[in-house]
Amino acid sequence: MTKILTIVSGKGGVGKSTTTINLGMALNEYGKSVAIVDANITTPNIGIYLGVPTVPITLHHVLQGKNKIMDATYKHSSGVKVIPGDISFSSLDGLDLENLDDALLDLEGLVDYVLIDGAPGLGEEAAKAISVADGVIIVTNPEMPAVTDALKAAKLVNELRKPVTGLVINRFKRDGMDMSVHEIEKILEYPVIGAIEEDKNVRESIFLKNALYLTHPDSEGSKNFKRLAAKILDIPYRERKIKSLTFFERFNGFFNRIIGDKK
Ligand SMILES: Nc1ncnc2c1ncn2[C@@H]1O[C@H](COP(=O)(O)OP(=O)(O)OP(=O)(O)O)[C@@H](O)[C@H]1O
Ligand SMILES: [Mg+2]
């Protein structure tokens, strides 16, 4: 059975896309089949992070009723399937968010996990992404402004009667100035299922246009994402056997094979 997990935050820029991509790679390494959907409709960036900003058919075409989701599904070199958005401004014309429900039905049974990268804020786009979820992961930074917005996100998830899978604290630093896990759990009243450290390699992975989990498999951030995946799968965390990637494997591992392009 396919499980849909939506990643939201309230506050923008806290690490939803980074979490979606790297959690997807970690679940994939644990042998689960994964599809990542970029439901940040107005400002999609999964394709940009993974090295292909534009593809012929996107989630926008699907939401416009022009294509099926399989037509917009691409395969990353890792094996993770990716449904990117369209970065052009005009792509918002004639788009109906309600088409997301039917589109996701087409993925049912094809993958173990669908990870939906939600939009910042708590508007229509974020609400739609929450409404289709089997579980919601709320990402925050360990700072009061982000935690305050995460609290609003949690309220919206409750209003939409969806379960919160847990909290992910991203960009954790060990300088004594962050809010603690305990403080954040107390405010948000949900368990922290992942703490991802501030990792300078994230920046390099963006430069390399690939997931941190693949470009820097032995980094602290990658280990943290693997722990998060193990927690979600409810299995013991194992240290990774590191396989070094070649330069070309590290760089821009995106979309080796288009699944849905019928041409
Ligand atoms: N653990 C981390 N360590 C260092 N930098 C990070 C980490 N996580 C994310 N970043 C950086 O923070 C920025 C925002 O990350 P990301 O795009 O994942 O956030 P977002 O919540 O998806 O943003 P938006 O709300 O705009 O969609 C990026 O520049 C990213 O490289
Ligand atoms: Mg994002």
pLDDT by 10s per residue, the chain, length 263: 999 999 999 999 999 999 999 999 999 999 999 999 999 999 999 999 998 888 999 999 999 999 999 999 999 999 999 999 999 877 788 899 999 999 999 999 999 999 999 999 999 999 999 999 999 999 999 999 999 999 999 999 999 999 999 999 999 998 888 999 999 999 999 999 999 999 999 999 999 999 999 999 999 999 999 999 999 999 999 877 666 666 666 665 555 444 544 33
CA of 132 to the centre of ligand 2 (A): 18
Q: What is the dihedral of CA 254, 260, 262, 263, to 10 degrees?
A: -20
The pLDDT value recorded for residue 237 is 92
120 lines ligand 1 (CB under 6 A): yes
CA of 66 to the centre of ligand 1 (A): 31
Output DSSP code: residue 164.
Answer: E
* Nearest ligand, CA 194: 1
CA of 51 to the centre of ligand 2 (A): 15
The pLDDT value recorded for residue 213 is 97
The pLDDT value recorded for residue 243 is 63
- The contacts of residue 35 (CB under 8 Å, 6+ apart) are 73, 80, 81, 82, 83, 107, 110, 111, 113, 114, 115
* Nearest ligand, CA 203: 1
CA-based nearest residue to 213, from 9, 17, 4, 29: 29
199 lines ligand 1 (CB under 6 A): yes
Structure tokens at 53: 């900003």
CA of 119 to the centre of ligand 2 (A): 7
CA of 159 to the centre of ligand 2 (A): 23
Contact assessment for residue 35 and residue 115, using Cβ atoms and an 8 Å cutoff: yes
13 lines ligand 1 (CB under 6 A): yes
22 lines ligand 1 (CB under 6 A): no
* Nearest ligand, CA 200: 1
Output DSSP code: residue 10.
Answer: B
44 lines ligand 1 (CB under 6 A): no
- The amino acid present at 259, given as its one-letter code, is I
Distance, in Å, from the CA atom of 150 to the CA atom of 10, rounded to the nearest integer, reads 5
173 lines ligand 1 (CB under 6 A): no
CA of 48 to the centre of ligand 2 (A): 10
Give CA angle at 102 (99, 103), nearest 5°.
Answer: 80
CA-based nearest residue to 25, from 124, 115, 139, 146: 115
Q: What is the dihedral of CA 55, 59, 61, 67, to 10 degrees?
A: 100
Contact assessment for residue 198 and residue 172, using Cβ atoms and an 8 Å cutoff: yes
Distance, in Å, from the CA atom of 142 to the CA atom of 185, rounded to the nearest integer, reads 11
Task: Answer positive or negative: Cα dihedral of 41, 43, 48, 52.
Answer: positive
- The amino acid present at 82, given as its one-letter code, is V
Contact assessment for residue 133 and residue 100, using Cβ atoms and an 8 Å cutoff: no
CA-based nearest residue to 167, from 17, 19, 18, 27: 19
Distance, in Å, from the CA atom of 259 to the CA atom of 114, rounded to the nearest integer, reads 16
CA of 13 to the centre of ligand 2 (A): 7
216 lines ligand 1 (CB under 6 A): no
141 lines ligand 1 (CB under 6 A): no
Distance of CA 38 to the CA centre of its chain: 8
The pLDDT value recorded for residue 261 is 42
Q: Is 252 exposed, middle or buried (0-12, 13-18, 19+ CB in 10 A)?
A: middle
The pLDDT value recorded for residue 247 is 64
The pLDDT value recorded for residue 176 is 87
128 lines ligand 1 (CB under 6 A): no
The pLDDT value recorded for residue 238 is 83
* Ordered structural domains, the chain, with CATH: 12-135+200-253 (3.40.50.300)
CA-based nearest residue to 13, from 210, 188, 180, 146: 146
